[in-house]
């Protein structure tokens, strides 16, 4: 199980960005972003000496995005920020943050980790 990579869909991709696992600028195809996100989670878990396997992160990340992060519209603050335990770490908790995951396979990201 430890060798199975975390599956990345639109929700786990969004949660990967908002949790700060990946930050910065990206503009490209979703497939390229997926490999970057998978690598970032693998490295994060190695550095933390994570006692779980990556696949166990899938459901929590998916639900974080689906129930919280998906409600944020570009240019606005997250409506769930007062209830979210990760709000102070959220890379998209600024009106300047852009996280655009389109249906045609394009991804545009402009986020920074909060200081």
Q: What is the pLDDT of residues 23-67, one digit of tens each?
A: 888 888 888 889 999 999 988 888 777 677 888 889 999 988 888
Find the helix or strand (DSSP H, E) in which 86 lies. none
Asked if the model's pLDDT at residue 72 lies above 80, the reply is no
DSSP E strand boundaries for 23-115: 24-29, 98-101, 106-111
Instruction: Look up the pTM and report it.
Output: 0.77
Structure confidence at residue 100 (pLDDT):
75
On whether the CB atoms of residues 53 and 2 are closer than 8 A, the answer is yes
pLDDT at 77: 72
What confidence category does residue 99 fall into, taking pLDDT thresholds of 50, 70 and 90? Answer: confident
Q: How far apart are CA 23 and CA 21, in angstroms?
A: 7
Mean pLDDT to the nearest integer, 74-102: 74
| For the chain, domain boundaries | 10-111
Question: What is the band of 4 on the pLDDT scale with cuts at 50, 70, 90?
Answer: confident
pLDDT mean over 81-93: 77
């Amino acid at each position: 199980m430890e060798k199975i990579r975390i599956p990345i869909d639109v929700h786990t991709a969004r949660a990967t960005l908002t949790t700060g696992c990946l930050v910065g600028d990206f503009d490209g195809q979703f497939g390229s972003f997926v490999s970057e996100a998978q690598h970032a989670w693998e490295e994060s878990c190695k550095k933390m000496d994570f006692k779980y396997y990556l696949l166990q992160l899938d459901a929590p990340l998916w639900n974080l995005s689906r129930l919280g992060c998906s409600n944020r519209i570009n240019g606005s603050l997250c409506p769930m920020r007062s209830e979210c335990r990760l709000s102070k770490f959220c890379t998209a908790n600024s009106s300047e943050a852009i996280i655009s995951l389109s249906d045609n396979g394009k991804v545009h990201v402009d986020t920074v980790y909060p200081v």
